[in-house]
Amino acid sequence: MIQKDNILGKTNLRVSPIGFGGYRIDNEIEMHANALKFAIENGINLIDTSSNYSNGGSEVLIGNVVKKLISDSLIARDDLVIVSKAGYIQGDNIKLLEQKINEGEAYEEVVRCTPELYHSINPRFISDQVELSLRRLKLDYIDLFLLHNPEYFLLYTKERDADALRDEYYRRIKSAFAVLEHLVEIGKIRHYGISSNTFIDDSDKRKFTSLEKLIELANSISPNNHFSVVQTPINLIEKDAANNFNQKNNTKTFLQIASENNIGVLGNRPLNAIEDGKLIRLTDYEIEEDRTDEEIKDLLKQQQKLELEIINDYSQLFPEHQKNDLIEFISLSKFLKANIKKFTGVTHFNDVKSHHLIPQINYAINEIYTMDPDNQKTISKLNHFAVASNILLNSIASLYAAKKNEDNKKLHSSLSKYFNDPEFKIPLSQKAIKMVTALPEVSTVLVGMRRVSYVKDIIEAYNLPEIENASNFWHSN
């Protein structure tokens, strides 16, 4: 059980040190709903989502789970702190954008990022997004509403005059703050803030967002403003929130300014670090198939032989346009031989495996089975192919996983003075989360928890002994 023992800045809301991150949850997946329900039942009371997560499906799931728990008298609305965000225009929001244009009520100040992605913090857009979020969440009010990565304006606007660009950036944020203050006044939201990846940048970078400037803007609107919360990445590798002096003429850190002004801090990406443009997962990996390089070469040869048999036996049953796809999807060994050295690591390989290779294999198997469903020889061969493919993919994944686990030993070693774990038995993911919660300026660290097992793992991390002298780690380079 996780206790609600942190105060979220000047909101005075009591929150759990670990929050439920809703980035990859969707209303269509029961497993996600079960994970959220289990998390709430075990004391996790801050839930973070956004209007664009799963095209609104994240908010819908949260709304359904929370409504059911409240109707069953298992929780009260005030037990929870719900965070949502707006800024991204993609998916259904692009349809909304087009609808407004057709009605002659186009949103102003829309930034075009790609053909499939736009961005805006225009007051009218923000107001509409709050209403849509309330509807999906089935709530009368949202506790915290954040502008979602407003720095997209700086990233995608071609204005060359840096000073003019920055002036316009903060003018737009101030306009958004003004409408958010109005939404507080009418009871739609209780507090507001900003989620940005660039609070931690060097102050001379084009995309830097200054927390002290945001506080100044909010104070100019009202000395009793409700700009209360900020969200930023912080993890074992990205430590800049704690040790980059980019505020107050480069004399203070982001976390120092937040603390001095009683601004609540939500830390995100505790397990997903970005270094030199590469994603680094701060977790240890299970080794499912422990194989040597030579054993994997043998598996590839066996796989290729099996694939040729299937192609020779069944490809002629299909029309030409379908035959080519079938041969490509069956030819797993050919793809792996051509690309096995191109994967950046276990995360990259697992993504390709899950989103491309396995769906293609399943498609080919199902199509062949449909053409010859009663032939036991066909069924046996297809089952053999499925098992062999699975073993091969898991073997290669395990090869990358073993390398990643070996690399992780450096991080484990750097953390050894803070955890009594000389044999590295505590998972790296748990150490990573516990270390962020040790920062007194961070109110809540947000963690993705799409399975009940993930929630249990997070609770174990929370229950690790408190860390002494954690500041030594965070303030070192």
Residue owning tokens 């793809």: 335
Of 57, 63, 75, the closest CA to residue 142 belongs to 63
233: three-class secondary structure by DSSP: strand
Query: pLDDT tens digit string along 67-100?
Result: 999 999 999 999 999 999 999 999 999 999 999 8
159: three-class secondary structure by DSSP: coil
Query: pLDDT tens digit string along 351-367?
Result: 999 999 999 999 999 99
Q: Is the pLDDT score of 1 beyond 90?
A: no
Give me the DSSP letters along 27-89.
Answer: TT-HHHHHHHHHHHHTT--EEE--TTGGGGHHHHHHHHHHHHHHHTTS--GGG-EEEEEE-EE
Query: pLDDT tens digit string along 413-440?
Result: 999 889 989 889 999 999 999 999 999 9
Cα distance between residue 63 and residue 79, in whole Å: 14
Residue owning tokens 């349809």: 95
Residue owning tokens 């046996």: 380
What pLDDT score does 284 carry? 94
Assigned CATH topology for domain 6-281: TIM Barrel (3.20.20)
Tokens (6 digits) for 473:
């780690």
Of 213, 215, 250, 246, the closest CA to residue 229 belongs to 215
Residue 223 class from Cβ within 10 Å (0-12 exposed, 13-18 middle, 19+ buried)?
A: exposed
Q: Is the pLDDT score of 159 beyond 80?
A: no
What are the sequence ranges of the domains in the chain?
A: 6-281, 293-410
Query: pLDDT tens digit string along 294-333?
Result: 999 999 999 999 999 999 988 888 888 888 888 999 999 9
For the entire predicted model, the pTM comes to 0.89
What pLDDT score does 373 carry? 81
Query: pLDDT tens digit string along 182-216?
Result: 999 999 999 999 999 999 999 999 999 999 999 99
